[in-house]
C-alpha cells in the first residue's frame, strides 16, 4: 500500500526527445577526458552527459540517486563510436526503466542488464572507433593539410584539428540518435557483416595512408660517397636503385620498433631520433 502511494505521488517520466539525446552526447563530447580517474575512468563524463535525461525521467529522489549510481560505474570507450552509441542506448534503456518503475510493473530493465550491455559494447566500439577515426580518418585530414604546413600556412595546422573535431562531433550525434531510436536492437548493429567488412576495409586504408605519409614526408638521404679505382660511388644512388625510399623506411621502422619495445614514449623517441640523426650527419653518413 505504501509503495502504491509513493508511486501516485511521483510524477510521470517526461518524454525524451532526440534533442535531449543530442544534448547528452555533446555534454559527453566536451567533458570526455576532464574528470578522468583511475577508479571510474570516464564514468563521471557519462553521468554528466546523462544527468538532464535522468532528471526528466526520475521525479523521485531515491530513483534519481539510484540512476546516478548506475551510470557512475566503471566506463571507458572511444569518443564518438563508443560514446555516441552508448549515450543513445543508455538514454533508451533508462527511459524504459523509468516507465516500468512509474507504472509499478515488473522491472525488466535490471541494473545488471544495463551495465552488462554497456560493458559489452564499450571495448568493441572503442576498437572500431580507434581503427577508423585514429587510424584512418585523421590521417586523411593530415595528408590533405601537410602541403599547406610545408608552405608555412597556418591552415596546415588548423585544418586537421578543426575537421577532425567536427567529424567526431557530427558522427557522435548521429550514432547517439540512431542508438536511441533503435533501443536495444542497436547492440546488434555493429555485428552486421557489412559493418565488419567496412571496418576491415577502412583499417587497411588507414595503413595505406600512414605508409603514404611516411613515404612522402619523411625525408632522409645519405651524403656518403667515395671513389674506388677512379670510379665514384654515391651511396644514395645505389640505395635508390635497390629500394627507393629505403632510408625513410628504416627510420619509420626504427621508430615503430622503439614504440613496440619501450611503449608509446613519443618524447623519448623524438629525442633519440634527433640525437642519432645529428651524430650520423656530423660524421657525413647522412
The residues near 82 (Cβ < 8 Å, ≥ 6 apart) are 121, 122, 125, 126, 129
Query: Is 98 found in the same domain as 16?
Result: yes
Q: Can you tell me whether residue 33 is helix, strand or coil?
A: coil
4 has pLDDT over 50: no
Q: What percent of the chain has pLDDT over 90?
A: 29
In a domain, 178, yes or no: no
pLDDT, tens digit (0-9, with 9 covering 90-100), for 128-148: 888 788 878 888 898 888 889
Angle at 214 between CA 212 and CA 216, to 5 degrees: 65
> Which residue did the predictor score with more confidence, 231 or 5?
231
Dihedral sign of CA atoms 187, 171, 54, 119 in order: positive
pLDDT, tens digit (0-9, with 9 covering 90-100), for 99-115: 888 888 888 888 888 88
In a domain, 181, yes or no: no
Q: Which DSSP state fits 119?
A: H
Q: Which residues pair with 228 in a beta bridge?
A: 231
**What pLDDT score does 204 carry?**
67
The whole-chain average pLDDT of the chain stands at 82
**What pLDDT score does 5 carry?**
39
Looking at the 3D structure of the chain, how many domains does it have? 3
Domain span including residue 145? 128-169+189-217
The secondary structure element, H or E, covering residue 205 is helix 193-217
Query: Is 66 found in the same domain as 23?
Result: yes
Confidence of residue 185 (pLDDT cuts 50, 70, 90): low
25-39, 154-168, 233-247: which range is least confident on average? 233-247
**What pLDDT score does 2 carry?**
40
Amino acid at each position: 500500500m505504501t509503495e502504491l502511494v509513493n508511486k501516485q505521488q511521483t510524477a510521470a517520466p517526461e518524454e525524451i526527445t532526440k534533442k535531449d539525446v543530442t544534448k547528452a552526447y555533446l555534454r559527453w563530447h566536451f567533458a570526455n577526458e576532464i574528470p578522468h580517474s583511475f577508479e571510474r575512468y570516464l564514468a563521471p563524463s557519462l553521468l554528466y552527459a546523462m544527468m538532464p535525461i535522468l532528471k526528466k525521467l526520475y521525479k523521485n529522489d531515491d530513483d534519481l540517486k539510484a540512476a546516478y549510481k548506475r551510470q557512475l560505474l566503471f566506463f571507458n570507450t572511444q569518443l564518438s563510436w563508443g560514446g555516441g552509441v552508448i549515450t543513445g542506448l543508455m538514454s533508451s534503456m533508462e527511459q524504459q526503466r523509468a516507465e516500468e518503475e512509474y507504472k509499478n510493473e515488473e522491472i525488466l530493465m535490471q541494473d545488471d542488464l544495463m551495465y552488462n550491455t554497456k560493458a559489452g559494447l564499450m571495448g568493441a566500439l572503442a576498437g572500431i572507433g580507434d581503427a577508423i577515426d585514429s587510424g584512418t580518418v585523421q590521417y586523411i585530414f593530415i595528408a590533405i593539410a601537410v602541403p599547406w604546413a610545408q608552405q608555412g600556412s597556418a591552415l596546415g595546422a588548423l585544418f586537421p584539428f578543426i575537421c577532425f573535431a567536427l567529424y567526431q562531433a557530427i558522427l557522435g550525434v548521429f550514432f547517439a540518435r540512431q542508438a536511441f531510436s533503435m533501443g536495444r536492437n542497436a547492440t546488434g548493429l555493429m555485428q552486421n557483416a557489412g559493418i565488419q567488412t567496412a571496418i576491415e576495409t577502412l583499417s587497411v586504408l588507414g595503413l595505406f595512408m600512414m605508409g603514404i605519409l611516411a613515404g612522402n614526408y619523411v625525408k632522409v638521404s645519405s651524403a656518403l660517397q667515395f671513389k674506388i679505382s677512379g670510379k665514384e660511388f654515391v651511396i644514395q644512388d645505389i640505395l635508390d636503385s635497390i629500394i627507393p625510399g629505403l632510408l625513410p623506411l628504416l627510420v619509420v621502422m626504427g621508430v615503430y620498433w622503439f614504440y613496440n619495445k619501450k611503449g608509446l614514449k613519443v618524447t623519448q623517441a623524438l629525442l633519440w631520433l634527433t640525437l642519432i640523426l645529428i651524430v650520423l650527419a656530423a660524421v657525413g653518413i647522412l
